[in-house]
Structure 1
């Protein structure tokens, strides 16, 4: 059996950030990823938005790690030459009934430390975006967009330069945890199996994190969260959009509503909606018929959206740990009674923005576990 210091399971943006910070701290790191390339699930199927941190409950991990991660991410983009743009976004109320919700978001933003978020009248918002229709708005200047693939490549490069090794197309199929460490059985794409014993295992498997934890004997099963999957569909715009900022409606249950985002080339896309998946079946197909609802929601803030302008683009799935009829759960970091294991669960939005701060939080938790051992 081969022995290693740290195994990070999952090479999405959070796993890459965790591997980077552990390797740069001098630890021996092996990253095990079931796909043949990095970032092939949630990390590459999102809006590529750098969130400001305005929505999340004050004091929550999502709020704290988003704000810290946002600042760290902008600095990292500058340092590493990663393409990004701090374009800002408008959160818009399209009816008088939504004014109170907008005011609550404004108060939440300031409570979370986002004092730069300002309230705008309809006239002020329309000066910024003449094609917009609203009764009031908030402006978040620290919201931006990023090339997520370039970001993940930079994280991978930093990790490898610090000595981290990557085992792609390799899947954890079993494991056991005890007081001395964690043993994992890893199967490669060609069917070969290898047993690894690690002093530290960090489960960053995203959508599969709870299922993977359940495969490791010796962890307290009752504390492993139940996974729920919420699909988000995206549509692209066939013609240029008359917007230079991101446009978000007042949030809906389960997500932030069908919003308009821009890529770094100026191409507009709309989404995600919220489609809860049954029986854990993950399907990335975008049903063209769902566009009917998109047209209705988008025209609430952009009445001039042309007919037949939307085309199916892609879909992503949020790794949730609370069902559709419950309040959104916070990020969860859990050891399940074993100080050599740390599982990351429910790392949905703002996980991309918060990844660098999440990695620092993981290191702090591991150091605390080490002191307690």
Structure 2
């Protein structure tokens, strides 16, 4: 049986960042990926936004890792030549009734260490974005966008340069956890067994299902998975905006927001559509054109000139939720030996937004649990 120091399950952006961090600490690290390429799940189906860390509860993993990860990501992108743009974001109030909530955005961000927000009255916001309609806005200059694929390729390159590797088409069937190490049973093209002192479950959408196949992990430590599909619609033609536009957050979420890609193409979304895998365990990523109808009224609150029939189906992503519909949003779960008592094992549950932004910081946090520097 082959032996390595560490196995990371899942080659999304978080799995790659964790594997990179472990390899840079001197651990011989193998990433096992069920698909034939990196980042084919949630990591390639998001808005590619570098979040500033405005909304998350103070002291939460999301708040801490987003702020730290954003700073790390900008430095990393600059050093590696990854395409990105610090374009900024406007959080907008479209009625006076929303002004208290807009002020709360600044207060919450300040508690998270985000101190560069700027309050803009309507005229100042309109001067920045002439097509925008609002009564006030908050400018987040440290919000940006990034080429997520280039980012993941850079993480893969760092991992391999540090002696690590990725085994594709290698689904994990089962893990037998033991005090002297863990035996990972691998199916697919790389069928066989691999023994490792450290195992990190970074399987994203399928992390709870995988945790259920970890022999030695008690059932109470395995959360139920929920799947929240988010549909995006692209704007036909070029948008008259140079920054991201977000409505004031409401109880249901962040609303229908406008994001831009590095080419300037505008996308609107995501909405929330709770779904279930089919009998073969597959998720339906098709975007229903009819769902765009409910977007128009929301968007026209801040962009009244949105033309009719301007939204076209773009793509969808699925968020790896660990709370049921209607329940309060949960924090990232970094479940290590201190929580479940299994040496060398870390489970990552509910790593949704801002996971892309937080990935480098998350990698360091996980490495610190099992391989202190």
Report the alpha carbon displacement of residue 153 of structure 1 after superposing the two structures with TM: 0.3
Report the alpha carbon displacement of residue 255 of structure 1 after superposing the two structures with TM: 3.3
Distance 2:207 2:24 in 1: 24
Query: Is the aligned partner of 1:257 residue 2:224?
Result: no
Report the alpha carbon displacement of residue 52 of structure 1 after superposing the two structures with TM: 0.2
* 1:32-181 mapped onto 2 (5 Å cutoff): 32-181=32-181
Preserved CA contact (<8 Å) 1:288 1:311 = yes
Distance 2:205 2:106 in 1: 31
Map of 1:239 onto structure 2: 237
Map of 1:316 onto structure 2: 317
Distance 1:283 1:24 in 2: 37
Distance 2:124 2:294 in 1: 28
Query: Is the aligned partner of 1:352 residue 2:356?
Result: yes
* 1:215-364 mapped onto 2 (5 Å cutoff): 215-278=213-276, 282-335=283-336, 336-364=340-368
| 1:175-230 per-position Cα deviation (integer Å, ceiling 9, x unaligned) | 211211111110124xx620111100011100000100101111011111111111
Distance 2:173 2:277 in 1: 21
Distance 1:340 1:265 in 2: 43
Preserved CA contact (<8 Å) 1:185 1:193 = yes
2:262 aligned counterpart, secondary structure: coil
Report the alpha carbon displacement of residue 254 of structure 1 after superposing the two structures with TM: 5.0
| 1:220-255 per-position Cα deviation (integer Å, ceiling 9, x unaligned) | 111111111111100001111000000001224453
Distance 1:323 1:121 in 2: 38
Distance 1:234 1:214 in 2: 32
Distance 1:354 1:95 in 2: 32
| 1:278-314 per-position Cα deviation (integer Å, ceiling 9, x unaligned) | 4686211100000111111111110000111110000
2:271 aligned counterpart, secondary structure: coil
Distance 1:125 1:366 in 2: 47
2:187 aligned counterpart, secondary structure: strand
Distance 1:172 1:97 in 2: 51
Larger deviation, residues 66-75 vs 331-340 = 331-340
Report the alpha carbon displacement of residue 266 of structure 1 after superposing the two structures with TM: 0.7
Preserved CA contact (<8 Å) 2:22 2:371 = no
2:15 aligned counterpart, secondary structure: helix
Map of 1:200 onto structure 2: 198
Distance 2:84 2:237 in 1: 22
Aligned length: 367
Distance 2:252 2:148 in 1: 23
Distance 1:13 1:60 in 2: 20
Distance 1:31 1:247 in 2: 37
Distance 1:175 1:350 in 2: 29
Query: Is the aligned partner of 1:188 residue 2:188?
Result: yes
Preserved CA contact (<8 Å) 2:25 2:371 = no
Distance 1:316 1:6 in 2: 29
1:170 aligned counterpart, secondary structure: coil
Preserved CA contact (<8 Å) 1:255 1:273 = no
| 1:338-366 per-position Cα deviation (integer Å, ceiling 9, x unaligned) | 01210011100000000000001001111
| 1:139-162 per-position Cα deviation (integer Å, ceiling 9, x unaligned) | 000000000000000000010011
TM-score by length of 1: 0.96
Distance 2:36 2:366 in 1: 25
Q: Which runs of 5+ in 1 are unaligned?
A: none
- Alignment RMSD (CA, Å): 1.4
Distance 1:343 1:297 in 2: 38
2:299 aligned counterpart, secondary structure: helix
Distance 1:61 1:340 in 2: 20
Preserved CA contact (<8 Å) 1:89 1:139 = yes
